[in-house]
């Protein structure tokens, strides 16, 4: 391992950071410019993340093993911090990149934007992303976020993925088709590229099976989450979950302290219907309640409209009046890897659309299916809620 570190020191290029922690002397090694005050403000918050406490242990583990399985609570900071730890450890020398896959486009874009802010670099330069029909990276890029489908497409033209020194498969529990194919593909690539490192990350993962698949790879668990989460369940099953969810949103806005609301529903039609009903119901209450901004989120929504969920809540209608509130109504696209600032209340009816194959008619269709309690807890934790209804 000492030989590897010496090699990285000798062969490192100008403008590329070598091994060692970022932040020495107040100069950003990724850009060569002094850090801005914003970097230090964010750094203080990063120190409070559960995954930060395990930084040294993780770096030692990735130095010593080709494959690492990382399991941590949702909201522990895995997605944003782990790529930075790897970049700081010297794996971006010799024009190599660290890549982190995400199951959804909006997650890849939002996480890349956040990591660029934390590293005090320009998005599209040192930190970039790649999604279908949009490439936001350049020759200086050393940390790249992309959808698993895009990494699979890159593997068609570059079978050994020579551009990357470390590949992070995030949200492995989502088990998309592209992720499953990548598991088999990367297992073969690892045999031919001894210098390539693989990190498999998830919040709710049957870790033992993945360890066995990757030849008894070491497992690291990161306990704890950033915010305490209080969970409430309905006493009796609701006859109409959509009506009950809308009623709960209205009750929270009228009765609860300030804080934005996230409501999970199953699909585009339901979400648009719920947006109209919530807006209509709250408008009928006049000035008794604060202003609301109701925003939909689903995969077929145009990217510009998807980005609206990160806008701040509206201000009070009048000075001293009730505070405004942002209400995001989303599919499970916001379940993982997508943290929306300001969310305090999460409502989940417990249903989602899942692909089901009917062998009799040989057709695959999306059916509304109940979700397990484990996934409900994961979704709530990712948004850092204090109360859930």
Angle value at C-alpha 203, between 88 and 111, nearest 5 degrees: 50
The DSSP line for 55-115 is: HHHHHHHHHH-SEEEEEE-TTSSHHHHHHHHHHHTTTT-TT-EEEEEESSHHHHHHHHHHH
> From edge to edge, which strands make up the β-sheet containing 387-388?
292-297, 325-330, 260-264, 343-347, 387-388
Q: Among 56, 46, 137, which residue's Cα sits nearest to residue 100?
A: 137
Token pair listed for 201: 């990350």
User: Distance between CA atoms of 387 and 347, rounded to whole angstroms?
Assistant: 10
* Same fold for the pair 37-222 and 241-382: yes
pLDDT tens-digit profile, the chain (389 residues): 444 433 333 333 433 444 334 444 588 888 889 999 999 999 998 998 889 999 999 999 999 999 999 988 777 888 999 999 999 999 998 889 999 999 888 889 889 999 999 999 999 999 999 998 899 999 999 999 999 999 999 999 999 999 999 999 998 877 788 888 999 999 999 999 999 999 998 876 677 788 888 888 899 988 876 677 888 888 888 889 999 999 999 999 999 999 999 999 998 999 999 999 999 998 878 778 889 999 999 888 888 888 899 899 999 888 888 889 999 999 888 776 677 888 999 999 988 888 788 889 988 888 888 876 655 554 444 443 333 33
Measuring CA to CA, which residue among 70, 77, 99 is closest to residue 204?
70
| pLDDT at residue number 330 | 93
**DSSP-assigned states of every residue in 336-372:** SS---TTEEEEE--SEEEEEEEETTTTEEEEEEEE--
Residue 187 in tokens: 């297992």
Cα–Cα distance for residue pair 296/305, rounded to 1 Å: 8
Q: What is the fold, at CATH topology level, of the domain defined by 241-382?
A: Rossmann fold (3.40.50)
Q: Which two tokens stand for residue 273?
A: 């219907």
Cα 381 from Cα 147, distance rounded (Å): 23
Query: Among 85, 83, 118, 113, which Cα is nearest to 101's?
Result: 83
- Which pair of structure tokens corresponds to residue 349? 């009816």
Sign of CA dihedral 68, 74, 76, 77: positive
Which token pair is 311? 């806008």
Question: CA-to-CA distance for 162 and 241, rounded, in angstroms?
Answer: 49
Choose which CATH entry (2.60.40.2140, 3.40.50.2300, 3.40.50.300, 2.40.37.10) describes domain 37-222: 3.40.50.300
Q: Using N-to-C axis directions, what is the helix angle for 268-283 and 241-255, rounded to 10°?
A: 40
How far apart are the C-alpha atoms of 389 and 255, rounded to whole Å?
Answer: 13
Cβ-Cβ contacts under 8 Å for 206 (sequence gap 6 or more): none
Quick one: CA dihedral 113, 115, 118, 120, positive or negative?
negative
Q: How far apart are the first and last CA of the chain?
A: 51
**Which DSSP letter does residue 120 get?**
T
DSSP-assigned letter for residue 313: P
* Domain range summary for the chain, segments of one domain joined by +: 37-222, 241-382
pLDDT attached to residue 283 = 86
**What pLDDT is recorded for position 374?**
55
């Amino acid at each position: 391992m000492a030989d590897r570190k010496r090699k990285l020191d000798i062969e490192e290029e100008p403008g590329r950071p070598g091994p060692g922690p970022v932040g020495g002397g107040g100069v950003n090694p990724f850009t060569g410019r002094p850090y801005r005050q914003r970097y230090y403000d964010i750094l203080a918050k990063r120190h409070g993340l559960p995954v930060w406490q395990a930084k040294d242990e993780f770096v030692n583990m990735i130095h010593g093993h080709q494959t690492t399985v990382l399991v941590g609570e949702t909201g522990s900071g895995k997605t944003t911090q782990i790529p930075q730890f790897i970049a700081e450890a010297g794996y971006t020398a010799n024009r190599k990149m660290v890549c982190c896959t995400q199951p959804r486009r909006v997650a890849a874009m939002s996480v890349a934007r956040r990591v660029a802010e934390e590293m005090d670099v320009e998005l599209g330069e040192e930190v970039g992303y790649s999604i279908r029909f949009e490439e936001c990276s350049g020759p200086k890029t050393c940390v790249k976020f992309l959808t698993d489908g895009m990494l699979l497409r890159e593997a068609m033209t570059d079978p050994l993925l020579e551009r990357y020194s470390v590949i992070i498969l995030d949200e492995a529990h989502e088990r998309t088709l592209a992720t499953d194919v990548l598991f088999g593909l990367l297992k073969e690539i690892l045999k031919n590229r001894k210098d390539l490192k693989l990190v498999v990350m998830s919040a709710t993962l049957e870790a033992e099976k993945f360890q066995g698949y990757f030849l008894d790879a070491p497992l690291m668990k990161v306990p704890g989450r950033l915010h305490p989460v209080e969970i409430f369940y309905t006493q009796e099953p609701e006859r109409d979950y959509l009506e009950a969810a809308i009623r709960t949103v209205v009750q929270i806005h009228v009765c609860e302290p300030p804080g934005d609301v996230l409501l999970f529903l199953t699909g585009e039609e339901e979400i648009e219907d719920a947006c109209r009903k919530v807006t209509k119901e709250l408008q009928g209450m006049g000035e008794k309640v604060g202003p609301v901004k109701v925003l939909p989120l689903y995969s077929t929504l145009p990217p510009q409209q998807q980005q609206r969920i990160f806008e701040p809540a509206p201000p009070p209608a009048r000075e001293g009046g009730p505070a405004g509130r942002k209400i995001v109504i989303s599919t499970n696209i916001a379940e993982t890897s997508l943290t929306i600032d300001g969310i305090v209340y999460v409502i989940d009816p417990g249903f989602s659309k899942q692909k089901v194959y009917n062998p009799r008619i040989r057709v695959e269709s999306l059916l509304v299916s109940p979700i397990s309690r484990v996934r409900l807890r994961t979704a709530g934790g990712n948004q850092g809620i204090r109360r859930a209804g």
